[in-house]
């Protein structure tokens, strides 16, 4: 039994997985200009700094001219943020690729330039590129990448990977003689610095006797790039998929390995793809089976040195359909690859896009591939995902792009996928509620709380995530008559899947409430909402509060009444020359833990208190509070009272009022003086604090002195 047959037997014996890829929203059509005939090759990168995907493609305007365009897509919503040209001159520019530099938040976009006539006979095809800022603006203008290759050679098919310090660009060439005849094809690579400076030219597969095409590249474990390519002359013309590593630190080249099976005869290999995982790489390709006229997609694992690891993986070997053009991305949070391709179901020439998940051990996790795009979903046919897939870091999501076939002009679509399966819905029977910051014992639905604290803890006996991720409980509570808004009002902490979880909400206002719960995993996947008590009625209520203690108006000099400066104390019944006073009191800790404030009512003597505050302090913690009372009338006697109010809003949120001084309410607590009397006292040299009797004594003495002089 050869390697391919053994691998198929292992796949058929494997148990069927229960998780699937999930589509996130509808397909995303990318804008086209009015002169476009069709979109062709495309490439995708993810920008973790801005949480955006960046897609590039070429658009054919005529048979000899094409442009490079780009779009920025919001990774969270799938919204196309901007579309713009990258290269739109007279030349034929095609086969674009893109890679993001997280150090500088820039993109390298590279493509092949076929000149004005797009003819090998008259043009020298080159690889060129630009560096773009995060918004798509030019950071480094156009430069040539494929310099130093033989003058007669033509370059095509660039692919790019970033290694932390710079980019490595790989491409293939058409090796031509002086008459323009292509003799063979070679694979080259070159480093590009963050500012666009080209490095050394690296010949990866060069020499007569090989026709090497379609490189794919990924940077990964061991600080190595793995470049994979197709050699159509290998294996007696069946072709083979090969690859070798390039170490980023010193650009040393690794051994050339074959990933396809040379023992299988009659399988024409095509279109390799490669992605880097946590400890190694995954290489994919398609094979045309000339024995029965159909095509399959296969994969092989490689270790960090690029050496094959394990049996070939038959990703899709259905004899009833054709499968082509593999593309692969790695999701680190899920420890899984997404492997996508296009296929012709039942040989009907109705193309669609399919995808499966493959774990780090090489196991295909989906017995039935998911249909990412099917005829009638967005366009009649879907065609060529190629190398256009990128993972969104910190999530299980990827973006897959493909060219759509069967309409004019040929458009380009994208689709967000999620490898992460959301947690299971909590069971309504497992939900419980309890008053307080920790869960002690369940209270039934309809419980009314008349004591504090105004805190509730909600619990689910167990919440489970199918992927085994940590999960947390989220709560949404609304008033009984209100509508849920799908926004959590409380959340617990992440904990192991399959265990009990709680969430706590504090500072709950008065009223009757209902609540529901959901489970959310570490990658943000959320279950459905489940109501605690499905029948109509409230789940819990806070309808009462403990009355706060009255304010302490003493001792004198600390609390009580003061002149406008807030420091000069006014004794009971004392006259103040100003038309404002400061009243201070100490407020005790509220029994419910609420914030408190001082409220003061000041009335002229003879006017009864109304219960309406003249002035208040701001709500705050217990302790010293004061109120400035201004706008008092001249020559008027006043009495006043104070109370403490908490911020619960309940009907009994205020203490009983306390009158100052303990004197009769027909007696003055303080009085305001007359401005004219005060002025006269100052002119006589007698302070205002001497009182009215001292002023009269001064007048009497002046009269006696005047009588003595007349004698």
- pLDDT tens digits, one per residue of 508-560: 888 889 999 999 999 989 999 999 986 668 999 987 667 899 999 999 999 99
Half-sphere exposure of 76 (CA within 13 A, CB side): 7
| Euclidean distance between the first and the last CA atom of the chain, given in angstroms as a whole number | 150
Query: What pLDDT shows up at residue 121?
Result: 61
CB burial class (10 A; 0-12, 13-18, 19+) of residue 474?
buried
More confident residue, 343 or 673: 673
- Top mean pLDDT of 34-43, 345-354, 594-603 is at 594-603
Lowest mean pLDDT among 93-107, 272-286, 558-572, 591-605: 591-605
How many residues would you count in the chain? 711
Query: What pLDDT shows up at residue 11?
Result: 39
Cα–Cα distance between 391 and 400 in angstroms, integer?
9
Cα–Cα distance between 341 and 357 in angstroms, integer?
12
More confident residue, 153 or 46: 46
Contact call for residues 259 and 302 (beta carbons, < 8 A)? yes
Tokens of 616: 């208040």
Residue 453, preceding bond cis, omega within 30 degrees? yes
Q: Helix axis angle, 691-710 relative to 675-683, nearest 10°?
A: 50
DSSP category for residue 621: S
Lowest mean pLDDT among 49-63, 157-171, 696-710: 696-710
Lowest mean pLDDT among 294-298, 357-361, 424-428, 633-637: 294-298
Nearest to 251 by CA among 193, 326, 175, 312: 193
- Residue 105 CB partners (closer than 8 Å, separation 6+): 47, 49, 50, 133, 134
Mean pLDDT over the full length of the chain: 84
- Global pTM exceeds 0.75: no
Asked if residue 699 has pLDDT above 50, the reply is no
Scored b (16 or more CB within 10 A) or e, 422-435 reads: bbbbbeeeebbbbb
Across 142-146, average pLDDT: 95
pLDDT band per the 50, 70, 90 thresholds, residue 13: very low
Nearest to 296 by CA among 304, 284, 288: 288
The pLDDT tens digits for 336-363 are 999 998 877 655 666 778 899 999 999 9
Across 384-404, average pLDDT: 79
């Amino acid at each position: 039994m050869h390697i391919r047959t053994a691998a198929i037997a292992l796949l058929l014996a494997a148990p069927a997985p229960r998780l699937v890829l999930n589509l996130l929203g509808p397909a995303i059509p990318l804008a086209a200009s009015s002169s476009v005939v069709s979109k062709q090759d495309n490439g995708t990168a993810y920008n973790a700094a801005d949480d955006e995907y960046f897609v590039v493609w070429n658009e054919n305007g005529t048979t000899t001219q094409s442009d490079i365009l780009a779009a920025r897509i919001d990774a969270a919503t799938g919204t196309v943020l901007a579309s713009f040209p990258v290269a739109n001159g007279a030349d034929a520019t095609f086969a674009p690729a893109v890679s993001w530099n997280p150090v500088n938040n820039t993109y390298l976009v590279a493509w092949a330039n076929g000149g004005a006539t797009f003819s090998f006979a008259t043009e020298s095809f080159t690889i060129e590129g630009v560096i773009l800022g995060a918004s798509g603006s030019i950071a480094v203008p156009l430069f040539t990448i494929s310099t130093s290759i033989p003058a007669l050679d033509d370059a095509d098919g660039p692919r790019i990977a970033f290694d932390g310090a710079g980019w490595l660009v790989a491409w293939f060439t058409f090796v031509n003689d002086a008459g323009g005849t292509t003799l063979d094809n070679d694979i080259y690579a070159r480093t590009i610095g963050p500012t666009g400076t080209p490095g050394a030219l690296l010949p990866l597969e060069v020499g007569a006797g090989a026709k090497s095409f379609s490189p794919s590249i990924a940077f990964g474990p061991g600080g190595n790039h793995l470049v994979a390519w197709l050699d159509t002359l290998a294996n007696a013309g069946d072709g083979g998929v090969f690859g070798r590593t390039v170490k980023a630190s010193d650009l040393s080249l690794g051994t050339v390995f074959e990933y396809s099976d040379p023992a299988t005869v009659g399988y024409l290999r095509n279109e390799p793809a490669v992605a880097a995982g946590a400890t190694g790489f995954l290489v994919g390709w398609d094979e045309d089976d000339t024995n029965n006229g159909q095509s399959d997609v296969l994969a092989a694992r490689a270790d960090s040195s690029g050496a094959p690891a394990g049996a070939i993986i038959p990703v899709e070997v259905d004899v009833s359909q054709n499968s082509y053009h593999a593309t692969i991305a790695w999701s680190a949070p899920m420890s899984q690859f997404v492997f996508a391709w296009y296929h012709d179901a039942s040989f009907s020439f109705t193309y669609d896009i399919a995808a499966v998940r493959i774990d780090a051990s090489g196991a295909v996790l989906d017995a039935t591939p998911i249909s990412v795009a099917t005829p009638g979903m967005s366009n009649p046919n879907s065609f060529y995902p190629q190398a256009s897939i990128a993972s969104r870091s910190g999530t299980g999501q990827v973006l897959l792009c493909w060219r759509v076939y069967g309409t004019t002009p040929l458009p380009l679509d994208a689709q967000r996928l999620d490898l992460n399966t959301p947690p299971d819905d909590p069971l309504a029977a497992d939900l419980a509620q309890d008053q307080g910051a920790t869960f002690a014992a369940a209270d039934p639905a309809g419980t009314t709380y008349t004591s504090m604290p105004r805190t509730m803890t909600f619990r689910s006996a167990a919440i489970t995530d199918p992927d085994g991720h940590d999960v947390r409980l989220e709560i949404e509570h609304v008033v009984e008559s209100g509508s849920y808004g799908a926004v959590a009002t409380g959340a617990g902490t992440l904990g192991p899947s399959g265990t009990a979880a709680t969430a706590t909400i504090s500072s709950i206002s008065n009223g009757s409430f209902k609540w529901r719960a959901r489970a959310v995993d570490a990658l943000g996947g959320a279950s459905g909402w489940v109501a605690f008590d499905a029948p109509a009625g409230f789940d819990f209520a806070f309808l009462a509060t403990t009355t706060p203690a009255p304010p302490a108006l003493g001792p004198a000099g600390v609390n009580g009444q003061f002149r406008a400066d807030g420091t000069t104390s006014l004794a009971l019944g004392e006259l103040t020359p100003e038309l404002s006073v400061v009243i201070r009191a100490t407020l005790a800790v509220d029994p419910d833990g609420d914030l408190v404030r001082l409220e003061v009512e000041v009335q002229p003597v003879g006017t009864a208190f109304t219960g309406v505050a003249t002035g208040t302090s701001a709500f705050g913690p217990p302790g010293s509070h004061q109120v400035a009372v201004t706008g008092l009338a001249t020559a008027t006697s006043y009495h006043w009272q104070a109370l403490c109010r908490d911020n619960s809003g309940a009907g009994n949120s205020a203490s009983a009022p306390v009158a100052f001084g303990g004197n009769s309410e027909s007696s003055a607590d303080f009085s305001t003086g007359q401005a004219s009397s005060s002025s006269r006292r100052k002119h006589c040299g007698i302070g205002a604090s001497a009182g009215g009797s001292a002023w009269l004594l001064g007048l009497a003495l002046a009269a006696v002195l005047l009588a003595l002089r007349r004698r």
